[in-house]
Amino acid sequence: MGIFKAFGASVGGAMADQWLEAFSCDALGADVLVQRGRKMQSERSANTKGDENVISAGSAILVPDGAAAVVTEMGKVIACYDAPGEHKFTGEQARGIFGGGAKSVVKDVGRRFAFGGDVPVVQRVYYVNTKECPDNPFSLPNVTLRLRDANTGLEMDAAVSVEGTYSYRVCDPVTFYRHVTGNVKSQYTRRELQSQMDAEASTAIMTALSGTIESVRPYELPQHTETVCKIVRDALREKWVSLRGIEPYSVAIASLTVWAQDMDAFRMIQRAKVLTDPAMAAATLVAAQADAMQAAAANPSGGALGAVLLASQARPAMWGCACGAYNTGKFCENCGRPRHSGT
């Protein structure tokens, strides 16, 4: 009974797999990187009993824009169609009446019979999304850089926060399938790869910042963002293409700012440096006295007294002479007596 059952299954299975198929996939969303292809079947189709893991030679594989079709046979990649349109499958394992003649059918029946009636072939189509995968944010709140103020000669380690986004795309579908996804049941989404990609992108950004922005003024940081982005793209491309068949598509830095406390330290040291110049120190003192006099004059309760006191600090002290005159020099302008003889 077992032999007859195996023979019947072999003949029935071989005949069911003679029909040519057309493979396609549903729309690949932005979050789907790989999706298994499906046979196109309608209610009117007579091809309803074929094995889902068999692709008859001569079948059509339809590839949409922004995708590539990877065909595997017995777990090995045997074809990749990356041009949009219809492609004819030319596999050797499932040749039938429409793809190889009657001899291939007899050979297929004999092979199935040896395996108890089951088909000893596994052929599948996987569609790889080759469009840009955007909106991958990154945030580095504490990157230490060596910053320098050219005016004061000050160099100081400062904490910098970086925020931005990056995008990537699959540029080598075969490498991506072999090294990343493999045989997926239904879909492979970007979420399964995201944490690894984010970590590697952050590392590349920190390395680029440390190697590029060295001894620059804090206010010049935004001028270096495009240079940093290019270095990051080149570094990630060298790594991702060989490892995963992925290339960075775009890197954008939205903000690159020094921590507020470190900026305050820069300003404080800049002010202190200014005061080491005698001329600048005198100008700063005069400006401070003027500001203090204005503030005192605006005070209704003590404005007059404050103005007199500040004025006395800004000019030589006055002394009274015995003749009743007040002077600022060494001798009385009224009677000529020296200052020490006055009251």
User: Residue 187 above 80 pLDDT?
Assistant: yes
Q: What's the pTM value of the predicted model, to 2 decimals? A: 0.65
Interval 277-329: pLDDT, tens: 566 556 556 666 666 666 666 766 555 545 555 555 555 667 778 777 777 77
Contact 181, 188 (CB under 8 A): yes
Distance CA 206, CA 141 (A): 11
**DSSP conformation letters of 245-284:** SEEEEEEEEEEEEE-HHHHHHHHHHHHHHHTTSHHHHHHH
User: Residue 199 above 90 pLDDT?
Assistant: yes
The pLDDT of residue 10: 41
| Residue range(s) of every CATH 3.30.479.30 domain in the chain | 133-264
Distance CA 232, CA 206 (A): 9
Cα–Cα distances in Å, from 212 out to 30, 158, 249, 250, 268?
Answer: 33, 15, 21, 19, 26
Residue range 133-264 in CATH 3.30.479.30 = yes
Give per-residue burial for 218-244: e unless 16+ CB within 10 Å, then b. beebeebbeebbebbbebbbeebeeeb
The pLDDT of residue 208: 86
Question: Distance between the two ends of the chain, CA-based, in angstroms?
Answer: 141
Instruction: Give percent of the chain with pLDDT exceeding 70.
Output: 64
The pLDDT of residue 156: 76
CA atoms within 13 A on the CB side of 78: 17
Instruction: Return the closest-CA partner of residue 249 out of 201, 199, 211.
Output: 201
Interval 77-116: pLDDT, tens: 999 999 999 999 886 555 444 445 544 554 554 454 444 4
Backbone φ and ψ of 105, nearest 5°: -65, -45
